[in-house]
Amino acid sequence: MRIRLLSFIAAVLALLASSVLLQAQTSQNSNARKTAPAAAKSDWQVRKTAWGEPDFSGMWEPKMPPSAREYGGYSFASHKEVVALMTPWAKERYLATKPSWGPLAVADSTDPVNPTDGKSIGCSATGVPRIWVHPFPTKIVQIPHVVYLLYEFNHFVREIYTNEGHEHQKDLDPTWMGNSVGWWEGNTLVVDTVGFNDQTWVDRAGLPHSDQMHVVERITRPAQNKLRVDITVEDPKAYTRTWSGFRELEFEPDWHITEMMCEDNYTFNDLKNQGKEQ
């Protein structure tokens, strides 16, 4: 009789233990089901404008990641990689440049935008894609089917229509900033630009280009406070194949575009020598 009682008690204890284990497993599964949707909801999605396009509006400050430390201050790609792709025509022009930044940097730069030799005039338009490399913020303004890129540097403005197709105007006159058309691919703004002259540099460190250059910018907002511009350059006269790089910018909701003036550097130096620069 005593053996039967002990067996009964052991069976009850085993049943209770399995019940507790089952409840614990059920509770864990239930908690997992509760937390899974919350994790999914935490993934940020770019908000839309009132007319349904991705909203990139606001002020954006250039801020490159540590991985781009080698070239982040003057370019959007490593010169080590790009120089290897140059044609003889481009290589000759590149070695003749006198930039203030990059592998060929010199003290007496003749950069057409920011010369430092005290003789060159400067203040030329930056061109595209170089405009993204200067350490000044960009303001993006959107209205239905138009994106305005307002650069604080020299107050350059680019007007990108997004509802006029992918074709450029015919018989374009060459310009400093080129002719841009744009369109949306999901949450990506694609900007296609041609029609350049050959008077600008691709970046601040002297990368050359010809009037055959074709630039594609793919602009995304991967996070609330981050804008990324993936840049592709095609120029058969200057490079043996297409190459690409990127720039990243950080959202600055409290910033405003401030005054920025680029004066004729030669005239400024004359005034400075006369003590009249103020």
3-state DSSP assignment of residue 161? strand
For residue 16, name the pLDDT band (cuts at 50, 70, 90).
very low
Residue 125 vs residues 8, 46, 129, 130, 257: alpha-carbon distances, Å = 93, 32, 11, 10, 18
Where do the domains of the chain lie? 1-43, 58-273
Task: For residue 261, name the pLDDT band (cuts at 50, 70, 90).
Answer: confident
How much is the pLDDT for 103?
97
- Is residue 27 predicted with pLDDT exceeding 60? no
The pLDDT confidence band at residue 262, using thresholds 50, 70 and 90, is: confident
pLDDT value, residue 35: 37
Q: What does the pLDDT read at residue 139?
A: 98
- pLDDT computed for residue 56 by the predictor: 98
Instruction: Fill in the DSSP letter of residue 91.
Output: H
Residues 6+ apart with CB under 8 A from 122: 111, 112, 113, 114, 115, 262, 264, 265, 266
Average pLDDT in the chain: 86
Residues 6+ apart with CB under 8 A from 45: none
Query: Is it the case that residue 264 has pLDDT exceeding 80?
Result: no
Checking if the pLDDT of 88 tops 80, the result is yes
Indicate whether 30 pLDDT > 80: no
Q: What is the pTM of this model?
A: 0.80
Residue labelled with tokens 């197709």? 165
Percent above pLDDT 70 for the chain = 79
Question: Is residue 206 a contact partner of residue 97, using CB atoms and an 8 Å limit?
Answer: yes
Categorize the per-residue pLDDT at 268 as very low, low, confident or very high, splitting at 50, 70 and 90. low
Residue 34 clears pLDDT 60, i.e. is over it? no
Tens-digit pLDDT profile for residues 57-67: 999 999 999 99
pLDDT tens-digit series, residues 212-239: 999 999 999 999 999 999 999 999 999 9
